[in-house]
Amino acid sequence: MINRLILKNFKCFSDIELEFSGVNVLTGLNGMGKSTVMQSILLIAQSQKSIMSEQILLLKGKYVNLGTGQDVLYEKAEKDEISILVQIDQYKESFKVGYQSEMDVLPLEELNFDKNKIFFEEKMDALFYLSAYRIEPQFLYQIENEKDLEKRYFGKSGEYAIQYLKLHGGDEVENRRIIIGNKTTIFDQVKAWLDMVSPGVSPVININVSSRTAELQYEYIEDREKTNSYKSVNVGFGITYVLPVIVQLIAARPGDIILLENPEAHIHPRGQRMLGELMAAVGAGGVQIIMETHSDHILNGIRVAVKKGKVSPEETKVFYFYKDIEDEYRHKVMCPMLDRNGRFNEWPVGFFDEWDNALLELL
């Protein structure tokens, strides 16, 4: 698990320190630094091999494209120097980055490991990322090499999650905290949780090995009867958009680290709330989740899970990013804390308060 992250002179942050838990919610107005936190972790993950072999960071890689050095250096930095410290399972990995304004590869001036490099590589290999730009309904999807798919890397858009569900849907779920009902395979649990998000829907997947394509359809359960199968292009957009998120969460194993961007996109509020409860259950089973979201429904799903005792308050963390007007508009973070009733100890201005603001205007 990533326990701590310290960023200095990285993008919008002059100096910030974050201490993570199992289920982590990054929120705040647009442009406050949520994506920067995610990008710093993804930058280290996509550079892991080059860190070891050449001692360089890749600003452009399989997860993110951050431009060149001038794009990632804090605008008001007193020194042309960036540093990132990541603490994983109590072991610190720190990187001091040399600055080259026009390069998308930055040299490491200092590299320190508390533990060996193999430990670092293993942890980075257990990191999975789904971006805000996920697969959408289409007639056919490309498929991945089956051996590579066993590593559960579904692509940052989740494009290979469909194939994985077809090939590994019969595997047992390793994280027992998420089980609904008495069926314990990955496919059955994906179906169960998808039903919580959009009642009655069930995926139907066909693989054509010769053309290297997968076809996604959906059928519905109406009372005890099944409907015909419908192509994904003829079914609601949000169902396909959320499917890779659910597959990634269900297939996760204790020790995994999952980074999610806007998992609520295109999902009805009820479905968002259930996603929050799923994430809480996944986190309680030993999988770390770091998500960027604007959804109070997802947050409320996590809060409800805390009150139900499905996850402890200590296993959750909420980060509210903002600009401090009184400190030269520096980007900072506050961490409202949950109690065992799912209530926060403070409610900062701008923190999921727009519903109340609108209601006041309507009175």
- By 3-state DSSP, what share of the chain in percent is helix, strand and coil, each rounded to 5? 35, 30, 35
Instruction: Calculate the CA 236 to chain-centre distance.
Output: 23
pLDDT at site 115: 72
Q: Is 60 left (phi over 0), alpha (psi -120 to 50) or beta?
A: beta
Range with the poorest average pLDDT among 276-285, 338-347, 351-360: 351-360
Residues paired with residue 206 on neighbouring β-strands, in sequence order: 215
Please state, rounded to an integer, the average pLDDT across all residues of the chain.
93
pLDDT > 90 fraction of the chain, expressed in percent and rounded: 78
pLDDT at site 54: 86
| Eight-class DSSP state of 325 | G
Tell me the pLDDT band of 251, cut-offs 50, 70 and 90. Answer: very high
pLDDT at site 131: 96
pLDDT tens digits, 258-305:
999 999 999 999 999 999 999 999 999 999 999 999 999 999 999 999
pLDDT at site 70: 94
pLDDT tens digits, 207-229:
998 999 999 999 998 877 888 99
Q: What are 51-58's contacts with CB under 8 Å, separation 24+? A: 51/95, 51/108, 51/111, 52/117, 52/121, 55/107, 55/108, 55/111, 56/105, 56/106, 56/107, 56/108, 57/95, 57/97, 57/105, 57/106, 57/108, 58/104, 58/105
Instruction: List, in order, residues 6 or more apart from 284 with CB less than 8 Å away.
Output: 22, 23, 177, 305, 310, 311, 312, 315
**Tokens in use for 93?**
């990995």
Distance of CA 185 to CAs 172, 251, 252, 294, 320, Å?
Answer: 4, 10, 13, 31, 36
Q: With 90 as the cut, is the pLDDT of residue 66 above it?
A: yes
Q: With 80 as the cut, is the pLDDT of residue 104 above it?
A: yes
pLDDT tens digits, 161-195:
999 999 999 999 999 999 999 999 999 999 999 99
Instruction: Calculate the CA 252 to chain-centre distance.
Output: 12
Instruction: List, in order, residues 6 or more apart from 96 with CB less than 8 Å away.
Output: 81, 82, 83, 108, 109, 110, 111
| Cα–Cα dist 158/133, whole Å | 9
| Cα–Cα dist 128/145, whole Å | 18
Q: With 90 as the cut, is the pLDDT of residue 90 above it?
A: no
Going by CATH, does the domain composed of 1-125+295-363 fall within 3.40.50? yes
Q: With 90 as the cut, is the pLDDT of residue 257 above it?
A: yes
Tell me the pLDDT band of 33, cut-offs 50, 70 and 90. Answer: very high
pLDDT at site 92: 84
**Tokens in use for 88?**
């994983």
| Eight-class DSSP state of 173 | P
Q: With 80 as the cut, is the pLDDT of residue 65 above it?
A: yes
Tell me the pLDDT band of 110, cut-offs 50, 70 and 90. Answer: confident
Contact 331, 323 (CB under 8 A): yes
Show the CA angle centred on residue 208, arms to residues 207 and 212, nearest 5°.
105
Of the candidates 217, 253, 214, which has an alpha carbon nearest to the alpha carbon of residue 235? 217
Alpha helices in the chain, H assignment, sequence order: 34-46, 48-53, 69-72, 117-125, 146-149, 161-168, 186-197, 237-251, 269-284, 296-307, 354-362
Q: What values do phi and psi take at 41, rounded to 5? A: -70, -45
Helix axes 161-168, 237-251, angle to 10 degrees: 60
Contact 320, 299 (CB under 8 A): no
Q: In the chain, count H helices and then E strands.
A: 11, 17
pLDDT tens digits, 300-318:
999 999 999 999 999 999 9
Q: With 80 as the cut, is the pLDDT of residue 114 above it?
A: no
